[in-house]
Amino acid sequence: MYKDIETERAVLACMIIDGECSLDYGLLNVDDFTDGLHKKIFIGIQNIVKKEKQVDYLTLYIELNKQVDVSYLATLSESLPTTANFKQYVEQLKDVSLKRKLYKLADGIRDPNKTGEELAELAEKEIFELREETSTSEFTRLDGILLDVYQRIEKVSSGELEMGLKTGYDRLDDIIGGLRNSEYILLGARPSIGKTALAINIAGNLLTEEKTIAFFSYEMSKEQLVERLLKSMSLVQTGYKREMDVKEWTKLQNTANYLLNKNLLIDDDPNKMVSDMQSMCRKLKRQEGLDLVIVDYLQKVKSNSKGTKREQLEQVSNDIKNMAKMLDVPVLVVSSLSRANETRDVKIPVMSDLRETGQLEFDADVIMFLHREYYYDRTNIEIKRDADIVIAKNRNGRVGRTKLTWYEEYTKFLNRSESYERN
C-alpha cells in the first residue's frame, strides 16, 4: 500500500544521468523507497557522491559490488522524459512516503495500555517529525526576499506599518519595537510584583485594537483572569469586600459589554504541554486568525521530558521558541525569578536571576523584567506607584529601561503620562 515504483525509478534515473540531481540526494532518505533493489541503488548513489565522484552506470555498478544487474541500471532511464522534472518527482515520492508512514502511525497508536491523551500527544509528536522528514524545503535566494524586507523597513520608517504589536506602553514599544512575529518574549519578576497583571494589561490594550489573543493561564482560573481584566479595564476595585457605587457598576457593565465581542481565547488547563498549545493555536490561527499568545507562566508548563527539573524547563523553553517561529506570532511568556536579588543591595533583577537554567537567556528573543522598589522599601511612600521595566535582552533591537505607574487597587499599569484618581 502507498507505493509508486515508477516514480522511484524516475528519481533514481535522474540522479544517475544528471550530476546536479545526484548532489540533491539529501532531499530523500532510504525509507522513501519501497523496492529493495531501489533502496540499494539509492545508498550506492549516496556513497559515490560522498566520495566526491561522478555518478554513472559503471561507478554505481562497482559501488554495489556488482550485485545489481548493470542492464537494469541502464534501463532505468528509458521511460524518463526529462531530468528537468526531478524536483517534481521527488515531491511526488515524498508525498507517497508520507502517506505510507501515516498509515503505519495509525496502527502504532492503537495501544490499549495508553490513555487517549497520551496517544494524542504521541500522534502530534510523530506527525510533526514526519512533516520534518518529508520536507523538501530549499534555501531562499537573497534576491527573492530583499525587496520585501526593504519595503517593510521603508513602511515602518514612514509610520505606514507597525514593526510589532503595540503593548499600549509607549516607551516600552519605543525600545523593543512592539511585540514582533516569531519572537519569544520573556517577562520575569518576583512574586507579587505584578507580572501577571502586566500581561493581562497588555492583552486588554491589544483587545482595543481588535487583535486575537490566546491566553494560557496555569496559575489562575479563567474566571479569575476575566475578573482581573474587567477590574483593570474598568478601573474599579472589584473583588474587595465593599459595596460598589453606581458609577463603578456602570463602568463595570460598560466594560463587560465592550469585551463581549473581543477575541480573547482562554485556556486554564494546568496540564497543557507546549505541543497542546501549539496544536490549539495552529487551529485557531487557521480558523479565526491569531495575533498574540500569552503563557502564564513558564515554570508551570508541563514537559514531556523525563529528565531533571532543569532539563524539563529547558525543553519547554526550546519548544516555546519553536512554537513562536512556527506560528509566526509573538509569544509572551511570564516567568518567575529566583530569590537572588533579595540578597543584593540593588534589588533590580538581572538575567542570572532567571530560575533553574541559563538556557532561557539563549532561547528568548526579548527578556524584560518588572521591578517595583516599593515592594522592598515600604517606608518610602513617594515611590509607591513606581514600576520599572528593564529590557535586559533584545535580539533585534536595543536594551533599556522605562517606567510605568502602578495602581495596585485596580491591578493596572499606566504610562507615566497617564494618571487615574478615583472621583
367 belongs to a structural domain: yes
The pLDDT assigned to 238 comes to 59
Looking up residue 75, the CATH number of its domain turns out to be: 1.10.860.10
Residue whose C-alpha cell is 477590574: 231
The pLDDT assigned to 372 comes to 93
Q: How close are the terminal C-alpha atoms of the chain, in Å?
A: 75
Residues 125 and 174 in one domain: no
Residues 54 and 119 in one domain: yes
76 belongs to a structural domain: yes
Residues 291 and 364 in one domain: yes
The pLDDT assigned to 414 comes to 93
Residues 128 and 168 in one domain: no
Residues whose CB is less than 8 angstroms from the CB of residue 376 and which lie 6 or more positions away in sequence, other chains included: 342, 347
Q: What span, in angstroms and rounded, lies between the C-alpha atoms of 273 and 120?
A: 12
422 belongs to a structural domain: no
Residues 221 and 78 in one domain: no
Catalytic annotation, residues: 219
Residues 293 and 192 in one domain: yes
Task: Report residue 137: phi and psi, to 5°.
Answer: -60, 145
**Burial (CB count <10 Å: 0-12, 13-18, 19+), residue 192:** exposed
403 belongs to a structural domain: yes
Residues 235 and 93 in one domain: no
Q: What residues in the chain have per-residue pLDDT under 50?
A: 422-423
The pLDDT assigned to 139 comes to 64
Residues 128 and 166 in one domain: no
CA geometry: angle 346, 352, 353, nearest 5 deg? 65
Residues 115 and 195 in one domain: no
Q: Mapping DSSP to helix (H, G, I), strand (E, B) and coil, where does residue 369 land?
A: strand
**Among 82, 112, 133, residue at a domain's last position:** 133
- Angle between helix axes 309-327 and 274-287 (nearest 10 degrees) is 10
The pLDDT assigned to 301 comes to 94
150 belongs to a structural domain: no
Residues whose CB is less than 8 angstroms from the CB of residue 406 and which lie 6 or more positions away in sequence, other chains included: 194, 372, 385, 386, 387, 412, 413
Alpha-carbon distances, residue 276 vs 157, 216, 310, 344 (angstroms): 38, 11, 21, 39
Our count of domains for the chain comes to 2
Residues 172 and 292 in one domain: yes
Contact (CB, 8 A) for 293 and 332: yes
Taking Cα atoms as reference points, which of 358, 278, 360, 262 lies closest to residue 324? Answer: 278
Residue whose C-alpha cell is 543584593: 344
139 belongs to a structural domain: no
Q: Mapping DSSP to helix (H, G, I), strand (E, B) and coil, where does residue 412 land?
A: strand
Residue whose C-alpha cell is 465592550: 258
**Burial (CB count <10 Å: 0-12, 13-18, 19+), residue 368:** buried
Q: What span, in angstroms and rounded, lies between the C-alpha atoms of 230 and 250?
A: 12
Q: Which helix (H) or strand (E) holds 96?
A: helix 86-108
Domain range enclosing 405: 162-415
Looking up residue 331, the CATH number of its domain turns out to be: 3.40.50.300
Preceding omega of 297 cis (within 30 degrees of 0): yes
The pLDDT assigned to 423 comes to 38
Residues 299 and 189 in one domain: yes
Q: What span, in angstroms and rounded, lies between the C-alpha atoms of 397 and 124?
A: 35
For residue 356, what is its C-alpha cell? Answer: 533553574
152 belongs to a structural domain: no
The pLDDT assigned to 127 comes to 67
DSSP per residue, 218-268: SSS-HHHHHHHHHHHHHT--TTSSS---HHHHHHHHHHHHHHTTS-EEEE-
- List of long-range contacts for 15-23, beta carbons under 8 Å, 24+ apart: 15/45, 15/55, 15/86, 16/45, 16/55, 16/56, 16/57, 16/60, 16/73, 16/76, 16/77, 17/77, 17/80, 17/83, 18/83, 18/86, 19/54, 19/55, 21/83, 21/86, 22/48, 22/49, 22/55, 23/49
**Burial (CB count <10 Å: 0-12, 13-18, 19+), residue 351:** middle
87 belongs to a structural domain: yes
- Angle between helix axes 274-287 and 116-133 (nearest 10 degrees) is 70
Contact (CB, 8 A) for 22 and 15: yes
Residues 296 and 181 in one domain: yes
